Structure 1
Amino acid sequence: MPVASAASLADPSSIKGAPPPPPKGQRLAAVRRTASLAWRLTVPYFSTRDVTEVELGRFGRLRIREGWLALIMAAIVIAATFADVAIDVRLSYFNNSWYDAIQQHDARAFWSLLLTVFLFWAMIAIVIAIYRYALESYLRIRWRRWLTHRYVGTWLADGTPYRMMIARTATDNPDQRIADDIDQFVQTTQSLTLGLLSAVSNLASFSVVLWILSRNFTLPGTEMRMPGFLLWGALIYTVLATWITHRVGRPLIRLNFAQQRYEADFRFSLARLREYAEQIGLLKGEQAELSNLQQRFGGIVDNYYAIIARMKRLIIVTAGYSQVNAVVPYVLVAPYYFAGKILLGGMTQTADAFSRVQETMSFFIDSYTTLAAYQAVLDRMQTFEDGIARANRASGDAATIRIAPQAAAPIMPDAPPDTETAVVVRDLTLRMPEGTPILSIPALTFRGGERTLVMGPSGAGKSTLFRAVAGVWPFGEGVIEVPGGASVLLLPQRPYLPMGPLRRAIAYPAAPDAFGDGAIAEALSAVGLADLVDQIDVEASWTMILSLGEQQRLALARVILAKPDWLFLDEATSALDEPAENALYTLVTARLPGTTVVSIGHRSTLAAFHDRIVTAFEGADGTFVLTDGEPGARPRAAE
């Protein structure tokens, strides 16, 4: 396993994947950027106009805007935070009187204060803590649910994952961004915000208490009066410790960012290994996979060693600060106690107030590692949004392919070809994302009710044409007219089987309960998968269990159930032998007489199941042209 080098431990920015540290002049701008980003990611939830329902027990259900509900819950939680501080201030005065009673051996005052003051405010504090926890948890899960729906919806809209891939703007591990980072963002934003509000409230309240208690203090060993001596001491002491902590712990921001990426990459590699276990086994690729996994895990180890090295330095500061805090306030106030200027109660209250002030001032110190991880979460969420935006922008800049819907017209069984329900392509040029032309189509019509076979060499752009018709390939220019209101189903060479029971995979993209058990069983039997009929409710990794040929049969069972108006088959039977392929095409022809079928294939035997053949021929400039005619025939303009 790789071991971290001395250079990497000394300089965390040398870790591969960690963003370089900003110049000193840009650090303040980076802080403002982080705050701005946190604000921008937070505001949409609290301002959303989405309407939700809330269960109110015996009072029924209440319809209210999600944003208003979030603001109400946040306001109550913040009020509870301030109430906690107020109770702490009141109890600090209780401690003063209580310890004075102890020093003066006043049993009556001791028990009276304990039973009438302490117990009363302690019970209120417990009730507030219970309801505050419940509301914080309720707000957190609702906020996370709303953000998850928003991110997933944005990510899946209009084929964005595919657009991100072909535009080369894909963000690493989007599953981590959605599953982990959103939860960390919500939890950390909530805890940091409430912690900061509590710290500010404590600072303001106990600074006043500390000022009042030390308003007549003199500098130790002198008669020089210095109002608020202990307050100034707490502020100077904490500011100095905060500055030292920041200097020592700042590299953790970069290191945490890199660690999350390495961990996610390693998890993804393991998931890929499980998905392609059969192919890896057939190719005897275990050693290659082992080497790859060791290399990726080596990145985790190297970066973790760098985190350990930095954390050791930070712990020296924070642990030392924590230990000293226990005695510093008593050391500062002890001269006044021994001089008889204050009683034991005053000493304990002064020490407690001093501790509260320096604790609230040390909020940044105590939260430094949290803040470092938080900034890494914000950066990952930002890069995810940027990746989606860049993909859409790149697609928009290149998207001069206009998809124009036609008026819907039903296709009747055994009806002649109908150009009113056709896919019409005019002056279309399909390009690679970088602009290289692939396929040119001056004019082509896929007529409704007709079965067309598209042939040509690999790489000619046939599958890309199908993607353009589906609206997920934006690179190129031209016009594609599609039937408005028609149902369309496109089957790729490798079908997609979603996670869950087999029923979900068969019905996809429809809901699992869209078809009855009888219809599913009949469709499976028709495509040669009768042995799966009794397993339709079994949850398993069906992509791993079924061969590619069986997966293609399953996809054709979807077609039988869905009965689409238009069916595009992109080498959807390539893993089957010719007799099986012929049987399935015969089945589609018999079961779906009103469905317009457009197939991509290389076998000449497919011609018997189609009314027309169009072929991609390579032009003089290397760009393919799609025209009517079989391979080897003289090209002519397609209608």
Structure 2
Amino acid sequence: MKVLGGAVALAAVICLAAGVGSGASQISGIAVDPGLIGVGAVGLALAYVTLRGATISTFLQIFLRLFAFEYVLLALAFASSSRGFWPAFLADATPPSTLCITIAVFGLIIYGLSYIPVIGQITRLADPYFEAADPIAAPMPWLRHRGWRERHLGTALIMLLVVINQLQVGISVRLSFFNRDWFNAIQNKDQAAFWSLLLTVFTFWAVIAIISNLIEYFFQQSLLIYWRQWLAKQYSTSWLGKGGIYRMGLIGDGADNPDQRIAEDIRSYLTDTYSYSITLIQQISTLVSFSLILWSMPAEFVLPGTNIVVPGLPFWVALAYSAFGTWITHRIGRPLVRLEFAQERYEANFRFSLARLREYAEQVALLRGERSELSILSGRFTDLVANYFRIVSRAMKLNTFTSFYGQISPILPYVIIAPYYFADKVTLGQMSQVAGAFGRVADALSYFVDRYRLIARYKANVDRLTTFSEALHKARTLGTTPPHIDVVPASGKDLAIEGLSLKLPDGREIVRAKALSLKAGSAVLVTGPSGSGKSTLFRAIAGIWPYGQGRIDIPSTAKVMLLPQRPYVPSGSLKTAATYPATAETYSDEAVREALKLAQLGPFADRIDDDENWGQRLSGGEQQRLAIARALLDKPDWLFLDEATSALDEKLEAEIYAMLRQQLPNTSIVSIGHRSTLIGMHDSRIEMQPASDGVFVPSPA
């Protein structure tokens, strides 16, 4: 940014130097060119903010860099043309001073926006993509070979889209002048000019506009899908990494419905962020360009009923009208942000209830729980409907005002300009051009009026992603601040616990283990009453329980596997379910079939390629045996069974344990169970016994 800031400063100084000693105006007896002086002065301000640009958001820096670069080119071109150095064949392409000043003002606006809190909230979500050093995932090998990263691709696409939008504004301005000349030809009954303008000027620029729209659409969609792909991967990785998927459920409302936030909220955020950044710049460009048209009308506009001349009266009317509309719209629509945020949560909760009901369809049917489920669904939908009607009520008030506002907008410019047309002070073409320019200026100034509800929904979406990001960070850092549970790779073969204290999320201590050692190669049964912290102890050993402190030494080369009471069965083929968490390609078909047979799932051995909803197709006992098959394939050094055979009958359970000891002779097995028959299947037992203060202590039995 320093080099670019220096270039901006140099271009500004050149304009100031070129503006002194030339021009029709004078300051203290010195001839000056107001255009060059204005371009130079605003350029110095742009140079200052460009030099400080490294302190603002990376996303906003992209726009600041682009506008600074454009200013350098345009300012030097304007200075050259003003001093007679501009090539004659490019005379029609000479940039006006207003364009240079407009570009510089854009840069100043971008810098100012960085200090608005809500803009900072939005850009904090956007910045990581434009700072990413990952190789590009887009199917563009020629860029990948050149060392391009995701940040390079995203930055290039943003800049390209901004330039395309600027060109589209230029096309609109050119068509505005076509409209003026065309209606003048109609008024003058000049048939030759009518057809010439239509077939040459309009046709040419209309084709360019269509082509630019198609190019913009392609690159816009490319940017959004690449950005979404990267962002979804980052959120998914953060959610699934380091036990985050489990810990998210422990930290409260900020983490509700992570599936929707990754699938839907990211998509909506990216689409709206593009719309409200690129198109807002387009609207500002439109505002400036068409304001100049309104300001430069040759007629002398006076206040109605007076002789007071007001230069650019249509512009001031558009400004006042739009400012009034924006203020009223904000007053009416402000509660929509809170209501839209709540609506997203109610919708997500209702969808989650339906998905959960489908998952537990068999259990609900067996318990005849349909009426209860209908009551639960009805309650959730009642909340959804109640909040929806609050939105409808507020939106009706907003729509009432914006409808009146929208109906008056097209008529207002004609009301202003018609008296001057009837007095022959302006032509029909000029009146048509003023009406069109007034409409474009009013639309640009009414940007927030027309989109207030959408912006409210966008703000709610940004809030949801922000709270989700904060929840992800909290989940990943939960239990990392000392004192905490330290799971340490050890050089020995045994698993040792020292000074361990496990707590519940509310801070109550549940397990205390001063010293506990589990011998490698042995089979240990952990027993105790329900709620005594047996499963919590296993979670701590697995490294996902964040509440507590102490040390757990696990052999550094050991492979650890924990089988819960209710196994997770992913969607896909039976082989995919049997090899989880490894991929299906990790093991041969024969190895998977053999593991299923050993786990007493022989009837399914020939169906490993069948793609069904195995989580519902298999019974509870079959799912537990499927998890046993995973252990046979994985061959862990330590196998923790958290009531992983509770759905089996005692005879089958004994056969499974005997098979495990035979097939995995080098595996240390640690089980949680309540059946007395399990005692004979293990070498030793640890009993969770309550101390005098109610905290459970694991003690050899």
1:318 pairs with 2:390: no
1:344 pairs with 2:428: yes
Indicate how the Cα distance of structure 1 residues 57 and 122 shifts in structure 2: closer, same or farther if over 3 A, else same.
farther
Matched residue type, 1:39: T
The alignment yields a C-alpha RMSD, in angstroms, of 2.0
Indicate how the Cα distance of structure 1 residues 477 and 223 shifts in structure 2: closer, same or farther if over 3 A, else same.
closer
> 1:567 aligns to what?
639
> Counterparts of 1:60 and 1:569 in 2: how far apart (Å)?
46
1:504 pairs with 2:504: no
Give the CA deviation at 1:436.
Answer: 2.2
How many positions carry a matched residue from both structures?
Answer: 588
Aligned residue among 197, 201, 213 for 2:285: 201
> Counterparts of 1:357 and 1:475 in 2: how far apart (Å)?
59
Matched residue type, 2:434: T
Deviates more, 1:223-232 or 1:196-205: 223-232
Give the CA deviation at 1:221.
Answer: 5.2
The 8 Å contact of residues 329 and 354 in structure 1, kept in 2 or not, is answered as: yes
> Counterparts of 1:427 and 1:224 in 2: how far apart (Å)?
88
Give the CA deviation at 1:277.
Answer: 1.7
Give the CA deviation at 1:463.
Answer: 1.4
Deviates more, 1:332-341 or 1:386-395: 386-395
> 1:68 aligns to what?
152
The 8 Å contact of residues 54 and 63 in structure 1, kept in 2 or not, is answered as: no
Cα deviation, 1:306-364, whole Å, max 9, x if unaligned, reads 12211211111111111212211111111111111111111111111111111100101
> Counterparts of 1:383 and 1:286 in 2: how far apart (Å)?
35
Give the CA deviation at 1:553.
Answer: 0.5
Give the CA deviation at 1:503.
Answer: 1.8
> Counterparts of 1:458 and 1:144 in 2: how far apart (Å)?
45
> Counterparts of 2:680 and 2:133 in 1: how far apart (Å)?
57
> Counterparts of 1:35 and 1:475 in 2: how far apart (Å)?
36
> 1:77 aligns to what?
161
Aligned residue among 411, 427, 446 for 2:499: 427
Indicate how the Cα distance of structure 1 residues 203 and 545 shifts in structure 2: closer, same or farther if over 3 A, else same.
same
Matched residue type, 1:424: A
1:494 pairs with 2:494: no
Give the CA deviation at 1:395.
Answer: 2.5
Unaligned 5+ segments in structure 1 are 1-28, 408-419, 630-639
1:293 pairs with 2:377: yes
1:576 pairs with 2:648: yes
Q: Look up the SS of the partner of 1:395 in the other structure.
A: coil
Give the CA deviation at 1:50.
Answer: 1.6
> 2:259 aligns to what?
175
> Counterparts of 2:143 and 2:233 in 1: how far apart (Å)?
29
1:119 pairs with 2:203: yes
Q: Look up the SS of the partner of 2:612 in the other structure.
A: coil
1:147 pairs with 2:219: no
> Counterparts of 2:362 and 2:171 in 1: how far apart (Å)?
64
> Counterparts of 1:54 and 1:152 in 2: how far apart (Å)?
19
Indicate how the Cα distance of structure 1 residues 216 and 620 shifts in structure 2: closer, same or farther if over 3 A, else same.
same
Indicate how the Cα distance of structure 1 residues 83 and 516 shifts in structure 2: closer, same or farther if over 3 A, else same.
same
Deviates more, 1:79-88 or 1:109-118: 109-118
> Counterparts of 2:472 and 2:141 in 1: how far apart (Å)?
41
> Counterparts of 2:215 and 2:385 in 1: how far apart (Å)?
42
The 8 Å contact of residues 56 and 62 in structure 1, kept in 2 or not, is answered as: no
> 1:363 aligns to what?
447
Matched residue type, 1:124: I
> Counterparts of 1:58 and 1:165 in 2: how far apart (Å)?
43
The 8 Å contact of residues 52 and 66 in structure 1, kept in 2 or not, is answered as: yes
Aligned residue among 603, 607, 610 for 1:538: 610
Give the CA deviation at 1:620.
Answer: 2.5
> 1:469 aligns to what?
541
> 2:177 aligns to what?
93
1:232-271 equivalences under 5 Å are: 232-271=316-355
> 2:108 aligns to what?
none
TM-score normalised per structure 2: 0.81
Matched residue type, 1:537: D
The sequence identity of aligned pairs, in percent, is 46
> Counterparts of 1:298 and 1:337 in 2: how far apart (Å)?
59
Indicate how the Cα distance of structure 1 residues 59 and 398 shifts in structure 2: closer, same or farther if over 3 A, else same.
closer
1:165 pairs with 2:237: no
Give the CA deviation at 1:54.
Answer: 4.5
> Counterparts of 2:368 and 2:400 in 1: how far apart (Å)?
50
1:404-423 equivalences under 5 Å are: 404-407=488-491, 420-423=492-495
Aligned residue among 260, 270, 280 for 2:364: 280
Cα deviation, 1:233-273, whole Å, max 9, x if unaligned, reads 11111111111111122221122111111111111111111
Matched residue type, 1:143: W
> Counterparts of 2:380 and 2:621 in 1: how far apart (Å)?
33
1:448 pairs with 2:520: yes
The 8 Å contact of residues 265 and 296 in structure 1, kept in 2 or not, is answered as: yes
The 8 Å contact of residues 169 and 390 in structure 1, kept in 2 or not, is answered as: no
1:616 pairs with 2:616: no
Aligned residue among 555, 560, 576 for 1:483: 555
Deviates more, 1:615-624 or 1:491-500: 615-624
> Counterparts of 1:378 and 1:565 in 2: how far apart (Å)?
46
Cα deviation, 1:168-223, whole Å, max 9, x if unaligned, reads 46622111111111111000111111221111000010111110015633334554
Cα deviation, 1:395-441, whole Å, max 9, x if unaligned, reads 3347522211013xxxxxxxxxxxx2111112222222233222222
Aligned residue among 306, 309, 332 for 2:390: 306
Cα deviation, 1:466-521, whole Å, max 9, x if unaligned, reads 11111111222221100112211100111111222222211111012111111111
> Counterparts of 1:296 and 1:429 in 2: how far apart (Å)?
39
Indicate how the Cα distance of structure 1 residues 118 and 428 shifts in structure 2: closer, same or farther if over 3 A, else same.
same
> 1:7 aligns to what?
none
The 8 Å contact of residues 220 and 335 in structure 1, kept in 2 or not, is answered as: no
> 2:309 aligns to what?
225
Cα deviation, 1:364-400, whole Å, max 9, x if unaligned, reads 1111011100111011112212223344455334752
Aligned residue among 616, 627, 630 for 1:558: 630
> 1:606 aligns to what?
678
Q: Comparing both structures, which one devotes a greater share of its residues to helix?
A: 2
Q: Look up the SS of the partner of 1:568 in the other structure.
A: strand
Matched residue type, 2:355: A
Cα deviation, 1:284-325, whole Å, max 9, x if unaligned, reads 222111111111111111111112211211111111111212
Aligned residue among 584, 588, 595 for 1:523: 595
> Counterparts of 2:238 and 2:288 in 1: how far apart (Å)?
43
> 2:78 aligns to what?
none
Unaligned 5+ segments in structure 2 are 1-112
Cα deviation, 1:88-143, whole Å, max 9, x if unaligned, reads 10111111111111111111111211122111111111111111000000000111
Matched residue type, 1:40: R
Cα deviation, 1:143-186, whole Å, max 9, x if unaligned, reads 11111111111122211232232344662211111111111100
Matched residue type, 1:95: N
The 8 Å contact of residues 638 and 669 in structure 2, kept in 1 or not, is answered as: yes
Indicate how the Cα distance of structure 1 residues 325 and 551 shifts in structure 2: closer, same or farther if over 3 A, else same.
same
Q: Look up the SS of the partner of 1:396 in the other structure.
A: coil
Matched residue type, 2:614: W
Matched residue type, 1:457: P
Matched residue type, 1:465: L
> Counterparts of 1:627 and 1:59 in 2: how far apart (Å)?
62
